[in-house]
Amino acid sequence: MKSLFTPLALAAMVIPFAASAAPKVGETAPAFTLTDSQGQSRSLSDFAGKTVVLEWTNHECPFVKKHYNSGNIPDQQRQATAKDVVWLVINSSAPGKQGHVDGAQAEQIQSGWKAAQTYYLLDPEGQVGQSYSAKTTPHMYIIDPSGTLRYAGAIDSIASADQDDLADATQYVPQVLSELAAGKAVSVSLTQPYGCSVKYKG
């Protein structure tokens, strides 16, 4: 039987969580303001009237590496932003914890991965991550143009750090974005996130 995690040490890093009840899909997404990797203040309200994707990240997490090294997340970012979707990468790793970066480091990392997010936001105090109950990296949220949370959960359907599993996985973000753009009901709005635990302060 194929192992989901290689090497086996990754198994200890997998933190599956039941999808949180707060915030609730179908309700208004929590407001926030954070500083981006270039030192500019960005608020969720700045993007009112647009669809917004939130992606929690930690560049040292094997599950994040899977989706960036394979090009999966950068491709999704490019496809989304080409359709005027706002894609916000959020880093809630606290100073001294795995994955913590400053703005310059974030820019360098994302450039190396050929990422195409709209903005990379720094949340070292973890307040925004906790307000969204972000548990893992990656952990994905989609907010519609009215400000309503329409999706929360995993990036895809196979909880694995193996790039070979991407071809067989349902990619939830493009699926939800396509349904929203077509005015359809979201077929899958809540899933169990997987990945490394968010490295919050404390």
Would you state the pLDDT for residue 10? 39
Per the domain annotation, does 7 fall within a domain? no
What global pTM score does this model have? 0.90
Polymer length in residues for the chain: 202
Whether 6 is in a domain gets the answer: no
pLDDT, residue 16, reads: 39
Q: What percent of the chain has pLDDT over 90?
A: 88
* Domain contains 53: yes
Which residues is 190 bridged to in the sheet? 152
Q: What is the pLDDT of residue 202?
A: 85
Contact at 8 Å (CB) between 56 and 92?
Answer: yes
Q: Considering the domain boundaries, does residue 17 fall inside one? A: no
Mean pLDDT of 126-144: 97
Q: What is the pLDDT of residues 27-50, one digit of tens each?
A: 999 999 999 999 999 999 999 999
**Euclidean distance between CA atoms 56 and 170, whole angstroms:** 19
Q: Is residue 19 part of a domain?
A: no
Q: pLDDT tens for residues 152-193?
A: 999 999 999 999 999 999 999 999 999 999 999 999 999 999
pLDDT at 75 over 70: yes
Q: Does an H or E element contain 140, and which?
A: strand 139-143
pLDDT of residue 8: 32
Average pLDDT over residues 103-124: 98
Mean of the pLDDT values across residues 108-132?
98
- Res 6 pLDDT > 90: no
Query: Ramachandran region of residue 84, left (φ > 0), alpha (ψ -120 to 50) or beta?
Result: left
Q: Does the structure show a pLDDT above 70 at 150?
A: yes
Let me know if residue 20 belongs to a domain: no
Query: What token pair was written down for 91?
Result: 């880093």
- Work out the widest C-alpha separation in the chain, in whole angstroms: 49
Q: What does the pLDDT read at residue 182?
A: 97
Closest listed residue to residue 136, CA positions, set 54, 17, 12, 6: 17
Q: Specify the 3-state DSSP secondary structure of 34.
A: strand
User: Can you give the CATH number for the domain in which 96 is found?
Assistant: 3.40.30.10
Confirm if 157 and 33 have CB atoms less than 8 A apart: no
Domain that holds residue 178: 30-197
Tell me the pLDDT of the chain averaged across its residues.
Answer: 91
pLDDT score, position 1 = 35
**What is d(CA 63, CA 140) in angstroms, rounded to the nearest whole number?**
13
In a domain, 156, yes or no: yes
Residue 143 CA: distances (Å) to CA of 24, 50, 93 = 11, 8, 23
The total domain count for the chain is 1
User: Is 15 within a domain?
Assistant: no
Q: What percent of the chain has pLDDT over 70?
A: 89
